[in-house]
Every structure is written in structure tokens, then in C-alpha cells.
Amino acid sequence: MPKVVMQDIGETTCEEGRRLVLAIMDSGVDILHRCGGNARCTTCRVEVLEGDPGPGTPAEVAKLADVADRTENMRLSCQIQVRDDLTVRVIRRLVDNPKMSDAGPQPIEWPADHPLPPED
């Protein structure tokens, strides 16, 4: 099982192909995901520090193009299927946004052996 290290937070393991946003949530981290993991917002952004997150989905690439402070390794955690050990920096958490009542709607599970499109 791949290991996911969240810088300054902790680490977890997950089933290969699990969506990164769900792996982070499963570990108890309150990562934001306001659109429910559909690449329609950018609240679940992470910076990939080590490991191969795979290619970005077309929806992710288009959405991240609108982010003014985008770094080269910035990705949407809802659009990454974990297949390799990863080290990431979680950029936005509920604890840092007290005006929000929750992190967002539950992202759907996605079959590990299928590529991720955003939900229509």
C-alpha cells in the first residue's frame, strides 16, 4: 500500500488507486473540498513535494490555470489517484478557515482501475 506523508501533519497508507483527498480525510486531516472532489474549485490543493502523482486530468489542468499563486507542483488532491508513495503539503484546512461550517461534501469513491474524470 502506498504511503502518504503530509508535511508537518503526519502520514497514512491507502489502497492503491484511492483518491488522495479521501486518503487525507481518512487520516483525520480536515482538508477542504468544497466542490465534493469534482475539480470545480481549488480548495483541496496540495503541493506535491516527493513522489509521482501521475498526470493531471483535463479538468484539473484547466482549473489550476486560474490560480494566481500556483506553484509548479500544485495539484488538486481530488484528481490524484495514489499509486506511489507521496509527500504533500496540504494547503487549505478547515481549522484555518473558522468561518466555514464544514470542509465540504463527501467526495465520491472512484474505482481504482479507472481514470478520474470530475463528476458531471
Using one digit for the tens of pLDDT, what is the confidence trace for 62-79?
Answer: 999 999 999 999 999 999
Q: Give how many domains the chain has, as a whole number.
A: 1
Within a domain: residue 69? yes
CA torsion sign, 110 to 81 to 65 to 45?
positive
Dump pLDDT digits (tens) for 33-66: 999 999 999 999 999 999 999 999 999 999 999 9
pTM of the prediction?
Answer: 0.93
Domain for residue 65, yes or no? Answer: yes
Q: Is the pLDDT of residue 86 over 80?
A: yes
CA distance linking residue 46 with residue 40, whole number of Å: 15
According to DSSP, the residues that pair with 46 across neighbouring strands are: 75, 90
pLDDT band at 15 (very low <50, low <70, confident <90, very high): very high
Nearest to 88 by CA among 58, 44, 118: 44
54 within domain boundaries: yes
- Measured over the CA atoms of residue 5, residue 16, residue 119 and residue 27, the dihedral's sign is negative
Residue 107 domain-assigned (yes or no): no
Which CATH number does the domain housing residue 48 bear? 3.10.20.30
In a domain, 61, yes or no: yes
Q: Given this model, what pLDDT does residue 24 score?
A: 98
- Where in the sequence is the domain holding 86, given as residue range(s)? 3-95
Q: Which residues contact 86 (CB under 8 A, 6 or more apart)?
A: 2, 3, 4, 5, 20, 48, 50, 51, 52, 53, 80
User: What pLDDT score does 58 carry?
Assistant: 93
Quick one: pLDDT at residue 111? 83
Mean pLDDT of 22-31: 97
